[in-house]
Structure 1
Amino acid sequence: MTPTPQPNTAVQPPTVENVRDTLGIGWREPRLSWITRTTADGWRQGIYELELVNSAGKRLSSVARESDESVLVSWPFAALESRERVGVRVRVAARSADRAHPAWSAWSDVTWVETGLLDESDWTARFVSPDWDEDASKDNPCAVLRRPFELDGPVRTARLYATALGVYEAELNGARIGDQVLAPGWTAYDQRLRYQTYDVTELLHEGANEFTATLADGWYRGRLGWEGGRALYGERLALLAQLEIVMADGRVFTVATDADGTWQAAPGPALRASLYDGETHDARIRPENWHGVRAEPFDMAVLAAPTGPPVRRTEELSPVAITTSPSGKTVMDFGQNLVGRLRLTVDGAAGQEIVLRHAEVLQDGELAVEPLRTAEATDRYILRGGAPETWEPRFTFHGFRYVEVTGWPGEFDPDAVRAAVIHSDMERVGFFESSDELVNRLHENAVWGMRGNFLDVPTDCPQRDERLGWTGDIQVFSPTACQLYDSAGFLGSWLVDLALEQRADGAAPSIVPKVTPFADLAAAGWSDAATVVPWTLYQRYGDKGVLAAQFASMRAWVDHVAELAGPDRLWNTGFQFGDWLDPSAPAGQPQAAKTPAEVVATAYFAHSASLVAQAAAVLGLEDEERQYSQLAAAVRTAFQDEYVTSKGRIIGDAQTAYSLALQFALLPGAEQRRHAADRLAALVRNNGHRIGTGFLGTPLICDALAENGHLETAYRLLLERGCPSWLYPVTQGATTIWERWDSMRPDGTVNRDGMTSFNHYALGAVVDWLYRTVAGLDCAEPGYRRLRIAPRPGGGLTYAKAVLRTPYGPASVAWRINGDELVVEADVPPNTTASVDLLGAGSLPDVGAGHHAWTIPAPKVAAARFTLDSWVSELRGDQRALEIFKDAMLRYWPEVAEHLERPEADAGMDLTLRQLGDLAPRGQELLAELEHRFLGYADDNV
């Protein structure tokens, strides 16, 4: 019997591990993934075949297996050697009763994989630095290193393996090598230094050639952190370069950095290159007065191939407006707060200096530079003269929307300026839209905030004298990061450094890489990135490998907290960041949140212990699973005994306290959970549906409400526009997420608290909720092998849609309210299934791959019900209820009507409506009318 061919089934070329750049990988046995495209409904893979070919395309071997696995499949061939180049392709067949004659898809295109230098012995090059002394306590001109060489014939292939102590850009015969920015990036340099691999075949020619490279301070020697520390890794910059050339006749010619007299160095035209302060470039300078180089000792064993994406220029923006400031300066507005630098094309006299100053916002028409603190964020270009010249800084970046330009020769030409957007070159995978344009802008603000702060490490802000890898920020944001971009390689690489930087006692840093005295501080919610981020990557990408790689780090952190907490299992000692930047925190005390620090710390202790137990279960470590499950249970009991009443009231009585308890499963009884959720909802209503959480409560609060019977309260919290709220910055023109809920005050002035950023992604963690709950696209099994379709319309939205490229292919959920009907549509990728949970639709069957649609009655949402036991402050969250209250009060107690509706009334007196009636002169009449009108209001709005 001849099997029926698979209808319109094709396989994309395999991907390798979590990288898109497969030249110079560091895996001997890289895992492979592939995505199948098909129009066949319910398609499931039953068998796959992988084929290996050599660099000439000749088949080496193939492996066929009956399996439905297609994500991070183990390498089935012989382990690769250094410099080995092979191609791999795949074909698949659906599950079929006729296993002997599977209906194969066509072969995918070939993915070419080439290893880098996998062994220390592969390196013949040595680190070299200019043979002159420099003062590492200040900025120095960037050094240019060069090496001329001759080739006596045509070239077949050539590879450059390179890295630096500092940052570098290399050229061959005047042409730039590669497109990476600020290579080799930032790692724990003394323990892991990445090298890059480049194909330079087309840049070489027979005869005379010249290799050059420019070195700059970067993170290695430049100043880092608000303390102004310099040379934190070393005082001398150095280059490591190994150029391996295979001639057409098979001979191998190697040009490698060494101190044998063939390499030279001279100061170049970049007079200063500071990440914080900017770059100064004098185009009149040509390297001359060449010196020799000297070898710099370095442990070659720490060299490693990259496992995440490089930093690149990903987009260009033009100015959208040019204004003249009150001081007479020309100011460019790029319409978007971004991270990068400018490229100029200009014609002027030799020696003319153009100065570019960068800032995120304007204050009274001038650049608001106070949020930069000591960062100058200023670039200077001194013209060579004689012809048009184009310049872009190479070794700095800025966070900005506005740029002030002075010294431009002649009339300023905005067409001669472009902003280059720079960040780690991750692939965009998530898209969201709704019927509310402010929510859509909030989502895009999170996208831009991530782009700006995912610059080789997940930084806190890109503009001031900080830009550090704060662990707390990424701990709360990692789920959202995975919704927006393919973050597996980026975060997996950063986690390697986190583990390397952990102390011997297991304390995980608050900043990775560690570069400030604060970095070694172990703190709840920050150091818990050691457990939360690996677990997030496992959940979103189905990668057990990341759990295996990080498990020792995860358990070491929890063991350290167990030591700090002691036998009572309460972590209530030492400094804590707590619910950082709670909007009620006093000025200058961002850690002074309403939720006590010990409540936060003990809650995270329980959460991290539970994650270690779950990771152990995934890895088949039964003893460890049992150990940490018992520890998590003990911490939960201690939390309940110390901080929770029998009915579910939690010490601190704050939004974050209840959100932590509900989302970290710290309340054992259903009645306790109901009471806590009700109290959380009341706190939100009493606060006029304004947010009352800092960094740690913010990603949890909407889930805590929506999953516990208060979906509409969650929506009203999301959609609130007053300060503080998620949409307040949007109404103020924000194009990124702010560090503070009020980075810009309602009066239009910049918050002058000394720590203010307008590009700080942590508070954008709510975007994960937009995908999972508002649109209803969630993962039910790790890696989206099984999806959950569960939209929860509300808040007056009439439409929402989320699209996500999962490891199995694109998935989407969209819903729209048409009159009394709710229409839901979903796309499920091949080789997956989805559960369906539509409120009011009863039990729905699971669905397989393909397009699906459901039409059900639109949900009827009851308006907030107010009783005589409702608090007066609750009414502020409902405009119609407030109007009813005011109307009744004006008739029965006019002298206090205006006062009690004001927010500041809460500070001195808050009463229930019943208590208010007891005080009013005509209290019983007032209460009777309110009770009647509120009942009618609720009934009319169902």
Structure 2
Amino acid sequence: MMHDSTARMITPATELGSAPCFRTEIDLDTGHGDVVAATLRISSLGVHEARIDGQPVGADVLSPGWSSYEHRLRYLSHDVTGLLTAGSVLTVQVGNGWYRGRLGFMGGRAFYGDRLGVIADLEIRFADGHRQVVVTDESWTAGGSDVIADDLYDGQTIDARRRTAAPGWSLPVRVLDFDRGRLTPYIGPAVTRQDLVAPSKVWESPTGRILIDFGQNLVGWVRFTTTGPAGSEVRLRHAEVLEDGELGVRPLRDAQATDRFIRSGGVDFFEPTMTFHGFRYVEATGLSLAEADQLEAVVVHSQLRRTGEFACSDELLNQLHRNVVWSTKGNFLDLPTDCPQRNERLGWTGDLAVFAPSAAYLFDVEAFLADWLADLAAEQQAADGLVPFVIPDILKFQPHPPEFPDPDSTAFWSDAAVWVPWTLWEAYGSRDLLERQYPSMAAHVRRVRTLLSPSGVWDGSFQFGDWLDPDAPPDAPAKAKADPGVVATAAYYRSLTTVAATAALLGFAEDAAEFGALAARTRAAFNAEYVAADGTIRSDCTTVYTLAIVFGLLSTAAADSAGQRLAALVAASGYRVSTGFAGTPYITEALTRTGHLEDAYRLLTERSCPSWLYPVTMGATTIWERWDSMLPDGSVNPGEMTSFNHYALGAVADWMHRTVGGIAPLSPGYARVSIAPRPGGALTWCRSSLDTRHGRIAVSWTLTDGALEVTTTLPPGVTGILSLTGHPPVELTEGTYHWPA
């Protein structure tokens, strides 16, 4: 374990004016035979790139990512056996990254510290069993680099002329005061390069600027090879959209998203690996049209295995699903962020709380989210049970903006402490994760209990509520139709029932009874305070009926009545979306549960704004933050908060997987599965599959002249129930079967 090492965190004795490089020569002990194993364990304050004799020690980039640095600093372990020779040189370059760079939408940088550093130990084992350890200490030296500026929001500047200058490794280092007890191995995967995308179009804008369209809104950077006079510069600015025929940078707010490359006079290869951008379009200065056509976009995100697939007869729905996938990839870069392009890129808890089920189907995210949940638990414990708005929590370092006065636990956002672990339990069946997160889950619902009003509902503290209700004023996204107390109390009830179930599962009988009783009181308070005698729920809008139905706050008869009212409201809206962050992920499920499947399909397949398919008709390749991030005339929404890569509203993919595709777990980890496709709308076929911990589950169906045929495949050891409308349930076992209905 690295925290037991004698390695010290070192930093240059003086600032160098560029991303510092650290260096040591490795003198192998002699007389012990060949090197049979060598492991480098390394972390940094800032993002690092380690090399032995110029060769990268691993495929990772932007390591050690962003964790709650004051509580957890992660390290990676690399097998470097094949790289070591006598006299090898180990170098580590460190950039600002999340540690010292700009963070957040309120300005400010270097929230965690103002000195970059590296800590590493290299353990070498020889044929005779001898062990040699090389550690970071005062014997290392430091030097400057060709990276003369680097920031995640603003971009990176590389001066290739510095590559040919004298290395200047004579600068001393000093030891930083650092608690090695904060060091912890990665739980989740590292960030790596995932794909290369070539330009789909290169042209000159109306003002003569060279623009490149990569055809896909993606996250990463651009690399290329160039020649030109020494000191000449190439500048690349990135954005997601065009506006008035030019690069649309206004949605970036003050993020510059610009990389600069200064030529050496020879052949230069440039790749800015200490920043990242969310972009589809690039404006290039200092390149010809022909040179711009040779650029490569490098897709970067955490190393996640794709597990779930979906396709159907409606190509617009297929594009919607692809957009969900790309928004997941773009925002699952070391942590689950809200957006990857503007001056924000934070781990907002509310977005993930609703999107986790979709993510857990599309990718194997168990370790990725377990790592983030470890930060959540650490931040929460330090805040006396309060789950912050963002994880890691940088907002605590800044004055709270006026719209978030004295924040406390907040429905949906703080509920991520409960909903995300339970989602991972359902998807992967990992009891260990529930055991690790249970104290955090319980602490959340106990803290909220102190915030309840005397009537037992949660209505007295700040709430985001049904954030970004499409009917809310553009500059006041929290002013939704749904009463915030209704939204918060419904969410609290869901958390209570979930924590009670978790406590029972883990054998904490007293806790299970405590939370079960509190859930019953909260349900009764909700009905007494918010549900009228005629079944109307306070604020009488789609979100309140949706949450009451899906979260189980109503009796069967009341739920049926609520479903009728919900369907009527959906029809009255012209089947356009009328819900915000709270209601949107669940409204199709609420309609389905109450017998309004066709209304759910009409809502899903509506094309006018606001709807899921409106952005698709406008050429979207990712999920937008606002339904109208781009207006029908092609102009960008004039509001300040407009992202074209936000996964939250793509949470409807969960309903597509479960209801259209027909795959849902009946027991944790899909050891037992429900196969229950519900065809509707104008769909004539659908194929879905999921790689589970037990193997691959697949379902396909076709509808021809009203006749439904279903094919199911279950792996060994998995059982299930096939449920088709109008037919008795059928027990399923492993194998592939065809079911004409």
Structure number with bigger Rg: 1
SS in 1 for 2:732: coil
| Root-mean-square deviation over aligned CA pairs | 1.3
1:310 aligns with 2:186: no
Counterpart of 2:714 in structure 1 is 828
Mapped contact 1:356–1:378 kept (Cα < 8 A): yes
Counterpart of 1:720 in structure 2 is 606
Deviation at 1:853, TM superposition (A): 1.4
1:852 aligns with 2:737: yes
Q: In terms of mean alpha carbon deviation, does 552-561 or 646-655 score higher?
A: 646-655
Deviation at 1:414, TM superposition (A): 4.1
Q: Give aligned-pair identity as a percent.
A: 49
1:472 aligns with 2:350: yes
Counterpart of 2:550 in structure 1 is 663
SS in 2 for 1:271: strand
Counterpart of 1:343 in structure 2 is 223
CA distance, structure 2, for counterparts of residue 538 and residue 419 of structure 1:
36
CA distance, structure 1, for counterparts of residue 734 and residue 352 of structure 2:
33
CA distance, structure 2, for counterparts of residue 531 and residue 156 of structure 1:
46
Counterpart of 1:508 in structure 2 is 387
1:615 aligns with 2:506: no
Q: How does 1:22-421 map to 2 (within 5 A)?
A: 117=1, 120-121=3-4, 123-133=5-15, 141-151=18-28, 152=30, 154-206=34-86, 208-259=87-138, 262-285=139-162, 286=165, 287-288=167-168, 290-386=170-266, 388-408=267-287, 412-421=290-299
Counterpart of 1:487 in structure 2 is 365
CA distance, structure 1, for counterparts of residue 93 and residue 408 of structure 2:
36
Mapped contact 1:154–1:205 kept (Cα < 8 A): no
Counterpart of 2:560 in structure 1 is 674
Q: How does 1:382-461 map to 2 (within 5 A)?
A: 382-386=262-266, 388-408=267-287, 412-461=290-339
Deviation at 1:675, TM superposition (A): 1.2
Task: Return the letter of the residue paired with 1:832.
Answer: V
Mapped contact 1:647–1:675 kept (Cα < 8 A): no
Deviation at 1:415, TM superposition (A): 4.9
Mapped contact 2:723–2:730 kept (Cα < 8 A): no
CA distance, structure 2, for counterparts of residue 289 and residue 783 of structure 1:
53
CA distance, structure 1, for counterparts of residue 439 and residue 132 of structure 2:
43
Mapped contact 2:409–2:447 kept (Cα < 8 A): no
**Unpaired runs of at least 5, structure 1:** 1-116, 135-139, 857-942
Deviation at 1:205, TM superposition (A): 1.2
Counterpart of 2:409 in structure 1 is 522
CA distance, structure 2, for counterparts of residue 344 and residue 521 of structure 1:
47
Deviation at 1:592, TM superposition (A): 0.5
Deviation at 1:522, TM superposition (A): 2.4
CA distance, structure 2, for counterparts of residue 224 and residue 211 of structure 1:
30
Deviation at 1:288, TM superposition (A): 2.2
Deviation at 1:391, TM superposition (A): 1.2
1:745 aligns with 2:631: yes
TM normalised by structure 1 equals 0.76
TM normalised by structure 2 equals 0.96
Q: How does 1:570-581 map to 2 (within 5 A)?
A: 570-581=457-468
Q: How does 1:612-651 map to 2 (within 5 A)?
A: 612-651=499-538
Task: Return the letter of the residue paired with 1:562.
Answer: R
Partner deviation per Cα, 1:771-806 (whole Å, 9 max, x = no partner): 100111111111101000101000010011111001
Mapped contact 1:433–1:802 kept (Cα < 8 A): yes
CA distance, structure 2, for counterparts of residue 176 and residue 521 of structure 1:
44
SS in 1 for 2:234: strand
Counterpart of 1:81 in structure 2 is none
CA distance, structure 1, for counterparts of residue 383 and residue 639 of structure 2:
36
CA distance, structure 1, for counterparts of residue 245 and residue 706 of structure 2:
50
SS in 1 for 2:552: coil
Partner deviation per Cα, 1:230-280 (whole Å, 9 max, x = no partner): 111111111001111223443322221001xx2111221101110000000
CA distance, structure 1, for counterparts of residue 293 and residue 199 of structure 2:
8
Partner deviation per Cα, 1:195-251 (whole Å, 9 max, x = no partner): 110111111112x22111101111111110011121111111110011112234433
Task: Return the letter of the residue paired with 1:786.
Answer: R
SS in 2 for 1:292: strand
SS in 2 for 1:754: coil
CA distance, structure 2, for counterparts of residue 820 and residue 485 of structure 1:
34
CA distance, structure 2, for counterparts of residue 816 and residue 446 of structure 1:
24
Task: Return the letter of the residue paired with 2:209.
Answer: K
CA distance, structure 1, for counterparts of residue 514 and residue 171 of structure 2:
62
SS in 1 for 2:104: coil
Mapped contact 1:647–1:672 kept (Cα < 8 A): no
Mapped contact 1:510–1:521 kept (Cα < 8 A): no
Counterpart of 1:707 in structure 2 is 593
CA distance, structure 1, for counterparts of residue 620 and residue 437 of structure 2:
37
CA distance, structure 2, for counterparts of residue 449 and residue 767 of structure 1:
12
Deviation at 1:844, TM superposition (A): 3.1
Partner deviation per Cα, 1:285-337 (whole Å, 9 max, x = no partner): 14426310000111111211111111000111000101111110111100000
CA distance, structure 2, for counterparts of residue 567 and residue 301 of structure 1:
44
Mapped contact 1:656–1:701 kept (Cα < 8 A): yes
SS in 2 for 1:611: helix
Partner deviation per Cα, 1:546-583 (whole Å, 9 max, x = no partner): 11111111111101111011442111112111111000
Deviation at 1:504, TM superposition (A): 4.4
**Unpaired runs of at least 5, structure 2:** none
CA distance, structure 2, for counterparts of residue 606 and residue 566 of structure 1:
14
Counterpart of 1:923 in structure 2 is none
